[in-house]
Chains A and B, each alone.
Chain A
Amino acid sequence: MIELDCLGHKCPLPVIALARKIRNVGIGDVIRVLADDPAAANDIPAWCRMKEQEYLGSPAANAFEVRRLS
Chain B
Amino acid sequence: MADGVATAHNDDEEAHVSSATEANKDDLGFLRDAVRTLPPQILKDLLSNGVCTRCIFRLLILHEEICSRPSLSTPILSAILHELTEHEGDGANSSAGETKDLIDTEHVQDFQEEFRFCRVCLGILQFVHNDDKGMLMKKHRASDFAAAIGDAVKQDGHNFDSFSLEVSLPPIVDVNEQAVWSYIKKKYGSQPWFREKYPSESIAVKDFLKLSVTNPLEKLLDVKSNESSFRIRLTYTLSDASAMKQPIHESNGCYKRRKCKSKWLRCAVDDLHLKREQNDIDFIKNSAGLHKVERHEPSRNSSIESGDDGTGFLAFPIEKVIQCCSLNFQFYKTPIYVGGRYLKYSRNVSQTRWIIDDERMGEASIEEIVGGNILPICQGDSYKFHAAGREDIDVRMLGTGRPFLVEIQNARQFPSDELIKDIEMKINNLESKFVRVKNLKFLGSQGWELMREGEAEKQKQYAALVWISRPLNNDDVQTLSSPKDMQILQKTPIRVLHRRSPLEREKTIHWMRIERIAGSSHYFLLHLCTQAGTYIKEFVHGDLGRTHPSVGSILGCRAEILQLDVTDVKMDCFQA
> Are A and B subunits of one complex?
no
